[in-house]
Amino acid sequence: MTKHNQEIVTRFAPSPTGFMHIGNLRTALYSWLLAKSQRGRFILRIEDTDQERFVPGAVEVIMDTLKITGLTYDEGPGVGGEHGPYIQSERKNIYRKYAEQLVASGHAYYCFCTPERLQSLHDANGIGGYDRHCRNMSAGEAAQRLAAGEPYVIRQKIPLEGETSYYDEVFGKITLANSDMQDQILLKADGFPTYNFAHVVDDHLMGVTHVVRGSEYLTSTPKYALLYDAFGWERPYYVHLPLLMGRGEDGKVSKLSKRHGAVSFQDLLAAGYLPQAVLNYIALLGWCPKDNNQEIFTLEELQQSFSVDAISKSPSIFDYDKLNWFNSEYIKALPPAEFAERALPQLKEICPDYVALDKLAALLHTRVNTFAEISGMVDFIAAKLPFDAALYTNKKNKTTPELCAKVLSDVRPLLAAAEWQNDKLFALLKDYAAASGVKAGAVMWAVRVAVARKGVTPGGATELLEVLGREESLARIDQALQELAE
């Protein structure tokens, strides 16, 4: 899908908002994949011409995110390149010349309408838009008013008749009647270009061949295509990505937002997700491999499999359960030492001295979805949970409080003399079950509930005994026996 076999050049052009929305990260990923799958170039450009929305530190957030996720860029802030600067506010002087060129060629015009006039238009017509008041002003009058220093903007002169089409690689042919398009502002009164203008000029000057972005731009792209035509520039390929949706508690699907959960990359990391798990999951939100059902992909594997024709145009739903699954797979794949290194600071904070933290970490490694879950999973270790007699009645293992009390008092002396190792303890309890005729499951249940005081634990009875140590385990069993007797 290249014209004249040229090198593919894509870009990621975020506005610095202070956080990286998951939808933006997906755009970055797909844009990167499109370039890298074809040995092309990937550019990072910061679109900050809306000076009122300046957020300090926001550019760093973008650069950090790309660094953490491995989406390296060949040109951009901090890296440089022959098309810089890559921050639009630093390119301010570039755009005016191009806007004036369009005025000269009859594709744009000076507009001197005051904010008050535009406001009263707006009040009268609602969002009907600009009435093209200055569109037919004579060149002489415009020159005079410019010379007098009147504030002005430059607007695009959209043809009044006909229609404009372009071909989108995902959505197909998109056509808009020219009469449905506004004479949009290209250059603002403060001399800054609008997004609508700046990105077209920059994409052209930077040699971008493929514009990858969210589908919210699908229907404004005809206006951009007209700008390319007006300049006599070759239009780029357009790849608009499907909408990202979230499912609310009521089951309703709407545009993915905070109401559905964490939606920024930074919030997801803070919630305990691994960067590569997030990236892997979002790769599949709108794209899937053509010839298999593979789900776990390294970035390199994605690069090998990616192709634009496998991007779907139907909206994708961001499913937090699915993300949990991806994250647990990535956590399981961590080397044990790396898992422990990440989990231990949390465990040290929560757990008392007597706990065998390395053993606990090993138990958690295969069981957690996110690092943030850990504290909830080990709550029973530090703070003894309240006694709950109902826990001793378990249907599956056929236990009653009475049976549990008998088991606990029988195994108490055996445990006191045992070697404190999971497999030894496990064999001991199994032998006791066989000898006493109590089901092994019931024995394990009684011990587990006595030491943990909860039914769901990261590990079975004897694993917990090992983690808690002999003294603490026996003390908990004693206390359980006492409570059961009462």
Q: Which of residues 156-195 bind ligand GLU (CB under 6 A)?
A: 195
Q: Binding to ligand GLU by residue 15, rule CB under 6 A?
A: yes
Residue whose entry in the numeric block shows the structure tokens 């757990």: 351
Bridge partner residues of 21 (DSSP): 264
Q: In degrees, to the nearest 5, what angle opens at C-alpha 381 toward C-alphas 375 and 384?
A: 110
The C-alpha torsion from 57 through 17 and 53 to 239, rounded to 10°, is 130
How near is the Cβ of 217 to ligand GLU at its closest, in Å?
Answer: 6
How near is the Cβ of 295 to ligand GLU at its closest, in Å?
Answer: 28
Reference 274, options 346, 321, 323; nearest CA is 323
Scanning 7-15, 174-182, 359-367, 451-459 for contacts with ligand GLU by CB under 6 A, the matching segment is 7-15
Task: Give the binding-site size for ligand GLU (rule: CB under 6 A).
Answer: 8
Q: In degrees, to the nearest 5, what angle opens at C-alpha 208 toward C-alphas 198 and 105?
A: 50
Query: DSSP character for 261?
Result: S
Q: Which of residues 30-49 bind ligand GLU (CB under 6 A)?
A: 47
How near is the Cβ of 2 to ligand GLU at its closest, in Å?
Answer: 20
Residue 109 backbone dihedrals phi, psi, to 5 degrees:
-150, 155
Per residue in 85-98, is it b (16+ CB within 10 Å) or e — as a string?
Answer: bbbbbebbeebeeb
Q: Binding to ligand GLU by residue 21, rule CB under 6 A?
A: no
411, HSE (Cβ side, Cα atoms, 13 Å): 37
Which residues have CB under 8 Å from 320's CB, separation 6+?
A: 260, 261
Scanning 8-16, 251-259, 274-282, 449-457 for contacts with ligand GLU by CB under 6 A, the matching segment is 8-16
Is residue 424 annotated as part of the catalytic site, yes or no? no
Scanning 9-17, 139-147, 238-246, 428-436 for contacts with ligand GLU by CB under 6 A, the matching segment is 9-17
CB 196 within 8 A of CB 155: no
DSSP 3-state assignment of 298?
A: coil
How near is the Cβ of 227 to ligand GLU at its closest, in Å?
Answer: 13
Is 13 or 29 the residue whose CB approaches ligand GLU more closely? 13
Which residues have CB under 8 Å from 476's CB, separation 6+?
A: 384, 450, 451, 468
Is 212 or 361 the residue whose CB approaches ligand GLU more closely? 212
How near is the Cβ of 82 to ligand GLU at its closest, in Å?
Answer: 21
Is 217 or 231 the residue whose CB approaches ligand GLU more closely? 217
Among residues 258, 348, 424, 454, which one is catalytic?
A: 258
Is 216 or 229 the residue whose CB approaches ligand GLU more closely? 216
Residue whose entry in the numeric block shows the structure tokens 């030492």: 337
End-to-end CA distance of the chain: 78
Residue whose entry in the numeric block shows the structure tokens 């499913």: 319
How near is the Cβ of 15 to ligand GLU at its closest, in Å?
Answer: 4
How near is the Cβ of 220 to ligand GLU at its closest, in Å?
Answer: 10
Residues present in the chain in total: 486
Q: Binding to ligand GLU by residue 14, rule CB under 6 A?
A: yes
Is 14 or 286 the residue whose CB approaches ligand GLU more closely? 14
Determine the Cα–Cα distance for residues 451 and 380; give it in Å rounded to an integer. Answer: 9
Taking CB under 6 A as the rule, which mask of x and - marks residues 90-119 in contact with ligand GLU? ------------------------------
Is 258 annotated to bind a ligand? Reply is yes
Determine the Cα–Cα distance for residues 21 and 357; give it in Å rounded to an integer. Answer: 36
> Which residue has the CB atom at the shortest distance from ligand GLU?
213
Cα separation values, 363 from 325, 335, 356, 360, Å: 18, 14, 11, 5
Longest dimension (CA), the chain: 108
Is 213 or 453 the residue whose CB approaches ligand GLU more closely? 213
Scanning 10-18, 249-257, 414-422, 429-437 for contacts with ligand GLU by CB under 6 A, the matching segment is 10-18
Q: Which of residues 194-223 bind ligand GLU (CB under 6 A)?
A: 195, 199, 213, 217
Is 53 or 67 the residue whose CB approaches ligand GLU more closely? 53
Q: Which of residues 363-382 bind ligand GLU (CB under 6 A)?
A: none
CB 99 within 8 A of CB 193: yes
Scanning 13-21, 135-143, 318-326, 407-415 for contacts with ligand GLU by CB under 6 A, the matching segment is 13-21
Reference 387, options 451, 461, 443; nearest CA is 451
Q: Which residues of the shown chain bind ligand GLU in the complex (CB under 6 A)?
A: 13-15, 47, 195, 199, 213, 217
Active-site positions? Answer: 258
> Which parts are annotated binding residues?
258
> Which parts are annotated binding residues for ATP?
258
